[in-house]
Structure 1
Amino acid sequence: MGAETIVITGASGGVATLLRPRVRRADREIRLLDLHAPARPPEVGETFVERSVADLDGLVEDFAGARAVIHLGGKSREASAADVIEHNIRGTYNVLEAARRAGVDRVVLASSNHAVGFHDRADIPAGGLPADVPARPDTLYGWSKVSIESAGRLFADRFGMNVICLRIGVWFSSPADVRGLALWMSPDDGGRLIEACLSTPDPGYRLVWGVSRNTRGWYSLAEGEAIGYHPQDDSEVYAEELIARFGPLDEDDPELRRVGGNWCSIPLGEPN
């Protein structure tokens, strides 16, 4: 058998940069899509294609022969309604529709914890906030992520596609602050999660938290474990340093009681 092809959109972004070395394999071709060439040039087994997710016909061509699409493209911060509709909502529709037309039946969509930002941490059950908890977006950005989740549900139900939506906490090399201790997903665990999404048989439609096995975590790991995701890293290794720098999480701060933190009160539609 020949090498399998995996497409990554938003391939020049920070998350894709972390992911690329963790999904490269000798039997795999990685097709990198973005409007701008990645700062880290393509390596053996990788090919860069300059493409906007606004270009539906071009995406159909780029997805031809692929086994799966990992959709990381779009706005990653709060933005105007026009921007999140164009880049996140319309762009994700194009990715799903292009995958359908190209015969790709597995799509991984990058959603966000901001799809549920207004949930109160006081209401989180002992096992963590379930991955399929009803949406309560905290921003237009969060609303756009709810929209892409529902689009994934539509394509799974109507066309039988396998669509896994990852409600990602913070996917960085290390957590940036004390709140991040609950939300962090390490680069290595991010690679493990994507491999689970690619390898689990016939997942249908799923919502899964994109987080590590954090001692201070708020989110359920059960849905990830159900598809073979077993995170190994814990943000606790950064706790002493971050608490010394920022102080402990203020449990009396009404903003910090919400899952979305201060995103619940930033100006709606303004870049943050």
Structure 2
Amino acid sequence: MADQRVLITGSAGIVGTFMRPRLRRADRVLRLLDLAPQPAAADGENVELITASVTDADAMARACEGVDALIHLGGHSRENTWEATLDVNINGTHTVLEAARAAGVPRVVLASSNHAVGFRRIDEAGEAGLPADSTARPDTFYGVSKAAIEALGSLYHSRFGMDVIVVRIGSCFESPLLLGPRGLITWLSPDDGARLFEACLSCPSPGYRIIWGVSDNTRRVYSLAEAEELGYKSLDNAETYAAELAGRPELTGIAADHVGGQFCTAPLGTFNPM
């Protein structure tokens, strides 16, 4: 049986860098695409490196050749100008999906964000958590782009029968310490991230799904039921870092009341590294 070939866009970014070693398997080729430089293949690492932008239609068409599944992480990962967000996140995702459709890629995993629903109130969550398919209430231009990506994924599933799984990622970092107390709610550990993407790659005939990408944090406000239906099992919990975050400033006002946190009050169109 031929090796599974998985294309990962944005593979030099934070999440892509975490996933490169964690999604490695003997029977899998990782085709890694990014504009940024990437480390050469290590001994025994079955990777194909591509330097290209998700906005380059010809490059994406070549990158999708012979691909069994695509994990689309590429794009601006924080607030940026409307022009840059439209070009890379929205038009770029359309370019990626169109290339995948033309190449017959059967499954696409799209990285969305909690900021697609950032103006949902935390008290909407209920005992089971905020449903993964809650309708969009973006908090920024970045959040708008993620809502648009979700809609594009729905369109390409409905029109062309492609399996599309949208992952609304909370915050994927080595630990939640960089995020402050809000990280105790939103954290997706890198190891859980890999478990989640493996579930997305292996579940049979998912159709179109929206799931949350978070660890099973004690303080999470997001439902994990939808991800667990695909076979995801979180083994990490941000609460193990709670003592180290004690005394750090808590969010207040609008930022404290809404899923998007400080993004709900940050200036629109201004790059924000956090």
Q: Return the TM-score normalized by structure 2.
A: 0.96
Q: Is residue 263 of structure 1 aligned with residue 263 of structure 2?
A: yes
Moved over 6 A (4+): none
How many correspondences in the alignment?
A: 268
What are the within-5 Å matches in structure 2 for residues 77-156 of structure 1?
77-156=78-157
Q: Secondary structure at the match of 1:58?
A: helix
Q: CA deviation at 1:97?
A: 0.5
Give the aligned residue type for 2:186: L
Q: CA deviation at 1:47?
A: 1.4
What are the within-5 Å matches in structure 2 for residues 49-60 of structure 1?
49-60=50-61
- In structure 1, the residue matched to 2:19 is 19
**d(CA) in 1 for partners of 2:175 and 2:36?**
25
**d(CA) in 1 for partners of 2:48 and 2:37?**
11
- In structure 2, the residue matched to 1:33 is 33
**d(CA) in 1 for partners of 2:259 and 2:36?**
33
- In structure 1, the residue matched to 2:74 is 73
Q: CA deviation at 1:254?
A: 2.8
- In structure 2, the residue matched to 1:191 is 194
Where does the alignment leave 5 or more consecutive residues of structure 1 unmatched? none
Give the aligned residue type for 2:9: T
How high is the sequence identity, in percent, across the aligned residues?
52
- In structure 2, the residue matched to 1:234 is 237
**d(CA) in 2 for partners of 1:230 and 1:165?**
17
Q: Secondary structure at the match of 1:236?
A: helix
On the 8 A contact 1:37/1:48 being kept in 2, the answer is no
On the 8 A contact 2:116/2:144 being kept in 1, the answer is yes
Where does the alignment leave 5 or more consecutive residues of structure 2 unmatched? none
Match of 2:227 among 224, 240, 243: 224
**d(CA) in 2 for partners of 1:42 and 1:178?**
37
Match of 2:204 among 189, 201, 225: 201
Q: Secondary structure at the match of 2:168?
A: strand
- In structure 1, the residue matched to 2:9 is 9
Q: Secondary structure at the match of 1:166?
A: strand
- In structure 2, the residue matched to 1:173 is 174
Q: CA deviation at 1:122?
A: 1.7
On the 8 A contact 2:254/2:265 being kept in 1, the answer is no
Give the aligned residue type for 1:29: V
Give the aligned residue type for 1:263: F
The alignment's C-alpha RMSD in Å is 1.0
**d(CA) in 1 for partners of 2:109 and 2:144?**
18
Give the aligned residue type for 2:16: A
Q: CA deviation at 1:147?
A: 0.1
Q: Secondary structure at the match of 1:108?
A: strand
Q: Return the TM-score normalized by structure 1.
A: 0.96
Q: CA deviation at 1:57?
A: 2.0
Q: CA deviation at 1:41?
A: 2.7
Deviations 1:119-177 (A, max 9, x none): 11122111000000010000000000000000000000000000001000000100121
Q: Secondary structure at the match of 2:256?
A: coil
Q: CA deviation at 1:253?
A: 2.6
